[in-house]
Amino acid sequence: MAQRDWSNLASPRPCTFFDDRPDSEEISLLVIHNISLPAGQFGTPYVDSLFTGQLNCDAHPSFSDLRGLKVSAHCFIRRDGSVLQYVPFGKRAWHAGVSEFAGRARCNDFSIGIELEGTDCIEYSSEQYASLAALTREIRHYYPAISLDRIVGHCDIAPGRKTDPGAIFKWQKLLDLIT
């Protein structure tokens, strides 16, 4: 089956924070994250600015730790369900950091990362779940090695270091929408 680099469900955004995957690396993992900038504030332009390398780190005191950070995700789903795509699926986004899944380190090499606008403790919107489910179905169509048991949270691949998408995330709801 032919793979697809860009989602039909997303608006493409310019990003340079990615590189090539290792040769012959099969995409076989989907990682769900959350992000909000500033933390707990939604609808700001700052996540987009972070992923496109244009974040003004003087715009908010909490951004000082982000100075020089080069991070990206393949897609970002806003609270209203709109989807932005920063990195082609066939390329390696810089979303997982130090990570391991099923005994394999460097999850960025073989995963697709999706960020939800949110926090670990605030309910995600029904629009986000609907968009995440549609995007997941599309991704799994083109990358069939991503089985249901290979859809995980950032917390699952970086335990003790990361907690997202948080205990508030409804995994069963997502699975029900996907299947």
What residues are annotated to the active site? 115
Helices assigned H by DSSP within 80-142: 126-142
Give the DSSP H or E segment for 157: helix 154-157
